Structure 1
Amino acid sequence: MSLNNIFQFLVPKDKKFFPLFEQATQNLVLLAQTLHEAVNAPKPEREAYFKKIEELEAVIEQVTHNTNLELSRNFITPFDREDIHALISAIDNVAGYLYGASNRMKLYQVEKISKSIRKMTEITLEGTQLIQIAVSDLKDMKKLHNIADVCKKLYKLEAKSDSVFDKAVADIFENETDVKNIIKYKEVLSALETAADKCKGVANVLESIAVKHS
């Protein structure tokens, strides 16, 4: 048994940080799902979805704040303090860019939602669901191999997102003649592509934690 595993055995079961991680990931999945529903809804119905997304992003920001407060109050943590901070910050980053995509659609009054935007919200939704699974597996350090498998899927999703983004941007410049629309679509797509990249950022943190405790 490694020193890390011995330490984990001796440390009391965490009752503070994992509930916060679970709250963050549950709301992250709900945010991504709401965004995916928004882009598949008629334009008059989108406003309600956008408002819900804003509320969910605020909840995740508060969870991030609460996690950092707990770090300042607690000497004993389930794993390295810097990794806890990195993980909750990475989750918050995903939420921030998904909200950014939603906000751009609202502010720029994007009327027609392209297939590529729908595809990218589908990719980010799958990414957040994988993040939720991996974070849940952190509670049981015997499931570290599961985390590695999820991280591989997240890396593949990010590569898929890059491909969809590149093709979508090329299509915009080839087929769209209105400069305003070019800017609108590119801004929304860029935010979604960055959100997928931030999902990969969560995978990087999770993989680092798994390696330290393997």
Structure 2
Amino acid sequence: MSLNSIFQYFVPKDKKVFFPLFEQASSNVVAMATVLVEAVNSANSNTREELFKQIDKLENKGDEITHQIYLELGKNFITPFDREDIHSLATAIDDVADYIQGAANRMMLYNVDNINEPIKKLSELILQASIDLEKAVKELRDLKNVRNIADSCIRINSVENQADYVFDRAVGDLFLYEKDAINLIKYKEIYAALETATDMCEDAANVMESILVKNA
């Protein structure tokens, strides 16, 4: 048992604020990804715009949760696991939210009406990865179900690989078929933001795998 694990026994239960905050952050990302999927599958541009605005509000909520994690990190001498891992996990989850918002903002600001299959597929993959991220985060509280965390991390890595493939094919098709240079730039930026959101999910999974190793 690590020294940090021993210290946990002396920490009052109500002081263990990190787990609820991480759970709130990951649940917020799932909410954002769910709204994103709904938006890109909506045929009504006004409805889509309202959903994008919801994503903006949820991202602000995520920022507040992340800020609270950082504040608690500064106030608490004893933490449930390494301080660097707490900071890295909070940052990675916040980055997922940032890139979801970034993709949504680009679609709205660029007046993209043709929501094509790559955008829909990448959005679905973000939601898949976010759901597994939330599952893994919820298991961090007591680290009893290590296998469940590891399985979720493996699925996130698999989703990220799928997103890489969809992104590469989509960009390849853009350069092959898109004749309008402005449209090419618009879609490439949107694809990149969506694909990077899955990268950030993988970053969070990597941090959790590191936590498992250190607390084994």
Determine the structure 1 residue equivalent to 2:199.
197
Q: Which moved more, 1:35-44 or 1:1-10?
A: 1-10
Determine the structure 2 residue equivalent to 1:18.
19
Tell me, in whole angstroms, the C-alpha distance in 1 between the residues paired with 2:5 and 2:77: 18
Q: Which amino acid is the alignment partner of residue 140 of structure 2?
A: L
Residue by residue over 1:118-161, the C-alpha shift from the partner in whole angstroms, topping out at 9 and shown as x without a partner, is 00000000111000000000012111221111111111111100
Tell me, in whole angstroms, the C-alpha distance in 1 between the residues paired with 2:147 and 2:12: 23
8 Å CA contact 1:151, 1:204 repeated in 2: yes
Determine the structure 1 residue equivalent to 2:160.
158
Which aligned pairs between 1:54-203 and structure 2 lie closer than 5 A?
Answer: 54-203=56-205
C-alpha deviation, 1:5, in angstroms: 4.8
C-alpha deviation, 1:44, in angstroms: 2.3
- Give the length in aligned residue pairs: 214
Q: Which amino acid is the alignment partner of residue 51 of structure 2?
A: Y
Tell me, in whole angstroms, the C-alpha distance in 1 between the residues paired with 2:150 and 2:4: 18
Show structure 2 runs of 5+ residues with no match.
Answer: none
Determine the structure 2 residue equivalent to 1:210.
212
- Specify the SS of the correspondent of 1:140: coil
C-alpha deviation, 1:78, in angstroms: 1.3
Show structure 1 runs of 5+ residues with no match.
Answer: none
* Structure 1 residue runs of 4 or more that deviate by more than 2 Å after TM superposition: 1-15
Tell me, in whole angstroms, the C-alpha distance in 2 between the residues paired with 1:74 and 1:202: 22
- Specify the SS of the correspondent of 1:141: coil
Determine the structure 2 residue equivalent to 1:51.
53
The normalised TM-score by structure 1 is 0.95
Tell me, in whole angstroms, the C-alpha distance in 2 between the residues paired with 1:69 and 1:11: 18
Tell me, in whole angstroms, the C-alpha distance in 2 between the residues paired with 1:213 and 1:49: 40
Backbone CA RMSD of aligned residues? 1.4
C-alpha deviation, 1:4, in angstroms: 5.5
The normalised TM-score by structure 2 is 0.94
8 Å CA contact 1:11, 1:78 repeated in 2: no
Residue by residue over 1:172-196, the C-alpha shift from the partner in whole angstroms, topping out at 9 and shown as x without a partner, is 1222211111111111000001111
